Amino acid sequence: MSANQAAQDTAIAVAKAAPAIGVAATGATGTVDWSSVAYMLTALYMVLQILLLAPKYRQMLRNWKIKP
């Protein structure tokens, strides 16, 4: 394996590990409150689901009222 290939493989490995290292570092230092982030993302997910599914359910109810 050439030195260039080894350097490239090392750079790829570092880039893949960077997000996990960043989360671990902020969690260990207390910089970011991850439970608040989790609650916020859960609330955002619920709002998106409601907004995206509401038209579908509205159409289903319209079709249900039309059929006897």
pLDDT tens, 17-36? 988 888 888 878 888 788 88
Domain count, the chain: 2
**Cα 31 to Cα 25: distance, rounded to the nearest angstrom:** 8
50 with 62, same domain: the answer is: yes
45 with 21, same domain: the answer is: no
Which residues 6+ apart lie within 8 Å of 31 measured at CB?
25
Write down the pTM of the prediction. Answer: 0.49
pLDDT of residue 68 exceeding 80: no
Domain hosting 28: range is 1-32
Three-state SS at 32? coil
